[in-house]
Amino acid sequence: MRSEALLPGFLFRTPEGMEVLSADDIIRLTPPERLALIAQLWDSLEHAQLPLTSAQGAELEQRLSSLDEDGRNGVTWASLKAELEQRCPGPAPATRPQFSP
């Protein structure tokens, strides 16, 4: 493996033969292209690989505990979707992004 400095202060290890994007290459991407790249990278991680701070872990545990103790306060996806569509009217339904659980 070789290392390339893509951002000042950060080294990224890349397998031989893998195309490396330079900082200039990244800047040339449109914002939607950069967001798509971020999404692909994020989606490639397994849940166990996602870093949590101790505060985030504690908050997650507290929320899971609260849900376990009183799940009756939750709302269904259908109810939430209807509320969001009412609160955030957008383009005609044919062009509006589809929400899925």
Provide the residue-wise pLDDT of the chain in tens; the chain has 101 residues.
344 444 444 455 666 767 788 889 999 999 999 999 999 988 898 888 888 899 999 999 998 888 877 767 778 889 999 999 999 887 655 555 666 65
State pTM to two decimals.
0.40
Torsion of CA 99, 88, 29, 14, to 10 degrees: -40
The Cβ-side half-sphere exposure at 90, using a 13 Å CA radius, reads: 11
